[in-house]
């Protein structure tokens, strides 16, 4: 029996310096919303719960989490998914409960329910664009300020995995996720990567909430947070550069998922992304299969670093 996850909830990372993590995450555009001791919680501007948890300790990816509909779904998952923990109380602002799972490579995946909703914060109004063939901003000016991008929410996270087949089956069979796109190596080659989305029927959802790629080594690849629009991506890029942080790849536009992206190395060397203008799909979309040799990673932007997929 699987549980249908509703969407990504949070990621948790451990950093050698919590003070440096707080500095980076503030510059990246998060808002601190609680914490005690060696743990800090961060949120975006949308209503919901915290979406990033920073712990102090040796450098490590701790967990990725998905929301489920209610505690009954957690109870069902705890009883039916192999290796699931009992239902446990969730620490952090808003309370709630969770069940801990381990995917085939041992990555911790939490299922979460019952968190109190945090009220939305002041965000960024959508930019009204005067397109070449369609004018829609009359007597109004574009006036931007220099500041961090404003993170809205967690969009997805991804892993380098040991087996495409095992990972695909686990996320599909246990979490009810479905592929938007897969990549294979050569015309007759095996599938090596997948962009998987949640299944909410005819409701529109993000192109992917988890990504994985078969690789010689296993580790977290990146986590990704949505901002309002491409201007916000660029403003975040300028702010992070001015603050001395290390860019990884961007700004550009992906082909699969379509989003405008900007990847950074955080204070501990983990990869983290701002994105905007991604695709949304529903159950009517049929999964597409692509030859990885024919699929560029971006349609415009600088070339990817040689270790982007490592």
Q: Read off the pLDDT of residues 274-290 as tens digits, 9 standing for 90 and up.
A: 999 999 999 999 999 98
pLDDT of 152 reads 97
Average per-residue pLDDT for the chain: 95
Nearest to 51 by CA among 14, 98, 21, 92: 92
Measured N-to-C along each axis, helices 18-28 and 230-242 cross at an angle, to the nearest 10 degrees, of: 140
Residue that is written with structure tokens 């597409």 in the block:
288
Task: Please tell me the predicted confidence (pLDDT) of residue 294.
Answer: 54
- pLDDT computed for residue 161 by the predictor: 98
Which residues have CB under 8 Å from 291's CB, separation 6+? 183, 184, 185, 186, 187, 189
The whole-angstrom separation of Cα 209 and Cα 56 is 26
Q: Is the pTM of this model over 0.85?
A: yes
pLDDT value for 270: 98
Q: Given this model, what pLDDT does residue 293 score?
A: 65
pLDDT of residue 295: 61
* Contact between 175 and 69 (Cβ < 8 Å): no
Mean pLDDT by 10 residues, the chain (310 residues): 92 98 98 96 96 98 98 97 97 96 98 96 87 95 93 98 98 98 84 96 98 97 97 97 97 96 98 98 94 78 92
Q: Are strands 7-15 and 52-56 parallel, antiparallel or unpaired?
A: parallel
């Amino acid at each position: 029996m699987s549980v249908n996850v509703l969407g990504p909830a949070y990621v948790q990372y451990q950093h050698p310096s919590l003070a440096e993590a707080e500095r980076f995450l503030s510059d990246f555009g998060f808002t601190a919303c609680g914490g005690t001791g060696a743990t800090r919680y961060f949120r975006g501007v949308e209503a919901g719960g915290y979406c990033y948890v920073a712990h102090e300790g040796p450098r490590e990816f701790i967990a990725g989490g998905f929301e489920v509909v209610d505690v009954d779904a957690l109870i069902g998952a705890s009883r039916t998914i192999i290796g699931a923990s009992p239902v446990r109380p969730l620490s952090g602002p808003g309370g709630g409960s969770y069940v801990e799972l381990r995917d085939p490579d041992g990555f911790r995946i939490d299922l979460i329910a019952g968190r109190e909703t945090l009220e939305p914060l002041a965000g960024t109004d959508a930019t009204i664009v005067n397109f070449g063939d369609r004018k829609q901003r009359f007597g109004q000016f574009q006036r931007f300020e220099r500041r961090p991008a404003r993170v809205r929410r967690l969009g997805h996270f991804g892993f380098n995995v040991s087996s495409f087949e095992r990972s695909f089956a686990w996320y599909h069979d246990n979490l009810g996720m479905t592929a938007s796109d897969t990549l294979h190596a050569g015309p007759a080659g095996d599938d090596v990567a997948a962009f998987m989305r949640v299944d909410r029927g005819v409701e529109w959802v993000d192109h992917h909430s988890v990504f994985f790629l078969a690789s010689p080594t296993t580790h977290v690849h990146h986590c990704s947070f949505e901002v309002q629009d491409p201007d916000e991506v660029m403003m975040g890029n300028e702010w992070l550069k001015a603050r001395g942080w290390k860019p990884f790849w961007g700004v550009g536009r992906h082909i699969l998922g379509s989003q405008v992206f900007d990847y950074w190395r955080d204070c501990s060397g983990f990869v983290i992304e701002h994105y905007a203008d991604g695709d949304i799909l529903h159950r009517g979309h049929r999964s597409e299969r692509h030859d990885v040799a024919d699929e560029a990673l971006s349609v415009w932007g600088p070339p990817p670093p040689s270790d982007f997929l490592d």
